[in-house]
Structure 1
Amino acid sequence: MVAQFGEQVRSALRSRGLSIREAARRLNYDPAYLNRVLNGRQVPSPHLVERLDQLLGAEGTVISLAASLTPDDHGRISRSIAHPTRLDRQAVDALAAVLAAQRRLDDAVGAAALIHPTEAQLLTVKQLLRDARGPHRDALLGVVAEYVQFVGWLHASAGNHVEASIHLYDAVDLADEAEDGTLAAQALNFRGYIARRQGRPTAVARWFEAAYHTPGAHAAQRMGDAAQAAQGYAQLRERETAKRLLGEAASLADAAHDQPPGTAYWLTSGFQRLSLGLAHLGMAEHALAADHLRAGLDGLPAEQRHADWTAEYRAALHAADGAR
């Protein structure tokens, strides 16, 4: 775990076709120094972190990842791994902060670059959960459930649907054990995303409706899930059911304006318009679909505007504009 900054950045560079030597040349840094940093043997300077962020076009997410890995946190995580029966809350919080930064990095550099290093970390945190004892194990369980879900998302985003489904199945079980409705609903939502990528509208309706009805789901999740279930029903030509779900999504709009859960930070009011756009496109309401999709894409924060997952919405906007 202590080398994860280097692992993540090294993988992101590789996905851009950059070796450590070539990256060092572009950054005007000593290749040996960069190699030590990216192999976890030396802490990067703030200037190097900033330059790596610029090189990767990461919009500050590499900086956030580096900030989440303080020397004290390294020590806490390492001690907890070596002595899991002495797990403390600070170590759990440090793992959660690292995971939050990795989620943001995915938006900027793409899923493919993060799958291998994140899977390696997942094995470590699962081992820690298995051996952990004491009052902080329940908090760790929630973090591990989110880790499993995140790896499932990475595979789903990269098109590895079988691997994604296996992880997301486990994520629901872990979320239920942790009694965390937001995590359970999000794992089901990602199953719906896979079904949509596969062109299976019945499964789209099933999984998003299951997420919508999950006890403990946040209003922002429920709004998006209702709209995406509506898209599935629209594609099945069950227009009345689709209209009902869109109405229920609209009724949640005020409550959905509250701060979304950290595990689903992207569910802003702008993002909700993307889900609404897909639903209206499914109902052949092309002008309304285009308005929602355009506004949603324009409203994304800088680090998300070119994320892999936005391609689906850009294609939908192109289709909606073409059919007007």
Structure 2
Amino acid sequence: MKFWHKYHPDIDAADPRFKQVSLIYSILLIMIAYFAIIGTLNITLFYAPEIAFFDYLGLVLALIIFRFVSRGGNFKVASWAVIVSIAAVLLAFVHLAEGRNYSLMWVTILPPFAFFLLGRRNGSWVSAIILVYCSWYLYQLIQQQVTANLGLGALFNFIEVATAQVFLFRFYENSRQEAYDQLQKTAITDPLTKVYNRLHLDNTLKSLVAQANRSHQAVSILLLDVDHFKAVNDKYGHLIGDKVLIRLCDVVRETVRETDAVGRWGGEEFLVICPNTDQQQAIQFGQRIIENIRAEAVEKDVHITVSIGAATYSAGATDSIDRILSSADENLYRAKRGGRNQIVGGS
């Protein structure tokens, strides 16, 4: 378990904030240890109290940010505070050292932190601004011959390294984000039909019900089942059966609204979650789905029909999510017993 979990017990590995909060605490601990050690060395070993002052300033800022985050502070604000603190301390060190003692080299640690904490876009322009400023400052020092043993070659080397870092970390962050997005998509998607899987449907329904309680609006669900699907598989084969399910999902997605969530509940059963939808509207949506599927030649003139059970959760109701799902399931079987190719709603 992460040590910071005691500060944020509501954030687990499935939470999108998990990586961000892990990174923030890791960087803050590095900052605290680094500034404390280097500040002490600058006083006791290098006799540079003016540089140690900025090291200890960084230590204080890191401790303040740590306290802010651990008390439930906004992670985005904390990320910006970390980057601003690091940039301020590094630039102060560069100016104090007037480019000597490899002070400019330390600026190159900023891009990875900026990209990891702020993302691709913000990390790019923050890094670019700091590195352009340092390049300009180094050029001024060379022009004024303030810093010995530095010439245009050193300036060009710094610019090359800075540019390479920005592009390198931007490329890395792009690749990492694309891989993360693909992983997230795979984790919530049914591999055959490309609609949501049951896990995502469960989480979506919980979230929408909680939102409905706050906004005093209804949430409806439609539980669909393909009529006589076993007969389709027996007559045409499982490959055609798979194509039937794929096309079925396409028709459903084309019929419902963008705000509705469509997913595979299991086998040939599918669930549609309709936010801000009362029972009458849900039945109308369901009837439209039935008509569109019935009119569609899914595969090689294979026509199918579906039966639908509808149920509605109203804000403030005593019904639980399990009870709503159970009602939809009961209504689905009522539709089956009533002759199929129809929707049944109500409790």
Q: Which has the higher helix share?
A: 1
State the TM-score, normalized to the length of structure 2.
0.26
State the TM-score, normalized to the length of structure 1.
0.27
Choose 1 or 2 for highest CA Rg.
2
Q: Which has the higher strand share?
A: 2
